[in-house]
């Protein structure tokens, strides 16, 4: 057994050399070429900016953006802006998870409920969240509540749809086997359906993160008292292009970190996914 396990981790060539697993090589190559691609992009951007081919107001150099990024964190109001955007995203995202996960699993479990709700889900999912911002501001004002609402609307549908897909793709033989052992509906749901849905839910959460951050940003651009989006809007109104790009980079960096963390969790549970 130990020999089989060790042979699955490494492969030995005819000359006795050991090869690294293919997954490790792929991750190394992805890191190397990804870093190389980002480096080439930044160097090209810097060269175009300093050459004077494009006005600095239209395309500031990466060094100018980096300087504005550092200055942004020394400004007196950055703490309130970060706190407001963070609270809006966290509350909206948690609400989308709390409501989207059980509702999606119920839609996947009960076909007739899915038939009844799918037209409404498709309608609201296809509606751009930015188009709803005026009515959300009328309902909730320009404070915290309207931003939470737009984050929720952006995140709930990816989670709901993926949770429903996870339930529908459960291997029916597993459910039948559980029934043979006299498992109740609750036991089948908790021991068969719920574990099988984990990879799908994590995939939906990755999509929800991006949609939620877009909701925070757009909501604060259209009307807010605090937030990174408001910071970017004020910088754009005064033609501070480096500060605008620094604010955008801040939102993008948060999205990259969160989606990568969820991606790690998704890969961990990928063996549970139905093939």
Contact by Cβ (8 Å): 202, 269:
yes
Q: How many domains does the chain have?
A: 1
Q: Look at residue 243 and tell me if it is in a domain.
A: yes
Closest CA to 155 of 113, 215, 107, 238: 215
Look up the CATH number of the domain holding residue 257.
1.10.3720.10
Q: What's 12's DSSP letter?
A: E
Q: Look at residue 7 and tell me if it is in a domain.
A: no
pLDDT at 12 over 50: no
Any idea what the Cα angle at residue 79 is, between residues 78 and 81, rounded to 5°?
Answer: 60
Task: Please state, in angstroms and rounded to a whole number, the distance separating the CA atoms of residues 242 and 236.
Answer: 9
pLDDT in the model for residue 272: 54
pLDDT at 93 over 90: yes
| Average pLDDT, rounded, for the chain | 81
Q: Look at residue 222 and tell me if it is in a domain.
A: yes
pLDDT in the model for residue 15: 47
Confidence of residue 273 (pLDDT cuts 50, 70, 90): low
pLDDT in the model for residue 7: 44
Task: Please state, in angstroms and rounded to a whole number, the distance separating the CA atoms of residues 151 and 218.
Answer: 10
pLDDT at 183 over 50: yes
Q: Look at residue 62 and tell me if it is in a domain.
A: no
Mean pLDDT in residue range 217-225: 79
- Tokens 């984050």 correspond to what residue? 151
Q: Look at residue 82 and tell me if it is in a domain.
A: yes
Q: What are phi and psi of 224, to 5 degrees?
A: -160, 165
pLDDT at 17 over 60: no
pLDDT tens for residues 150-168? 999 989 999 999 989 888 8
* Residue 19, SS3 per DSSP: strand
pLDDT in the model for residue 4: 44
Name the residue range of residue 82's domain: 67-272
Handedness of CA 169, 173, 174, 179 (dihedral sign): positive
Least confident of 88-92, 109-113, 152-156, 190-194: 190-194
181 vs 12, which has greater pLDDT? 181
Q: Look at residue 1 and tell me if it is in a domain.
A: no
* Residue 11, SS3 per DSSP: strand
pLDDT in the model for residue 10: 45
């Amino acid at each position: 057994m130990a020999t089989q396990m060790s042979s699955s981790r490494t492969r030995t060539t005819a000359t006795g050399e050991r090869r690294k697993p293919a997954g490790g090589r792929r991750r190394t190559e992805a890191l190397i070429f990804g870093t190389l691609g980002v480096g080439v992009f930044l160097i090209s951007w810097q060269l175009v900016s300093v050459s004077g081919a494009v006005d600095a107001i239209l395309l500031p150099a990466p060094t100018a953006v980096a300087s504005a990024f550092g200055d942004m964190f020394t400004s007196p109001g950055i703490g309130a802006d970060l706190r407001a955007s963070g609270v809006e995203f966290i509350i909206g995202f948690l609400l989308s998870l709390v409501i989207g996960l059980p509702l999606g699993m119920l839609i996947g479990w009960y076909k007739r409920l899915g038939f009844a709700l799918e037209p409404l889900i498709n309608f609201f999912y296809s509606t751009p969240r930015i188009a709803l911002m005026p009515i959300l501001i009328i309902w909730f004002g320009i404070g915290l509540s309207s931003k939470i609402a737009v984050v929720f609307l952006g995140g709930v549908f990816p989670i709901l749809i993926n949770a429903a897909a996870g339930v529908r793709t459960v291997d029916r033989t597993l459910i039948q086997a559980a029934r043979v052992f006299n498992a109740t509906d609750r036991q089948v749901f908790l021991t068969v359906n719920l574990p099988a849905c984990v990879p799908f839910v994590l995939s939906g959460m990755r999509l929800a993160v991006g949609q939620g951050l877009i909701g925070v940003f757009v909501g604060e651009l259209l009307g807010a008292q605090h937030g990174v989006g408001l910071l970017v809007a004020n910088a754009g109104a005064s033609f501070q292009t480096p500060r605008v790009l620094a604010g955008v980079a801040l939102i993008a960096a948060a999205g990259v970190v969160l989606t990568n963390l969820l991606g790690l969790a998704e890969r961990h549970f990928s063996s549970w996914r139905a093939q």
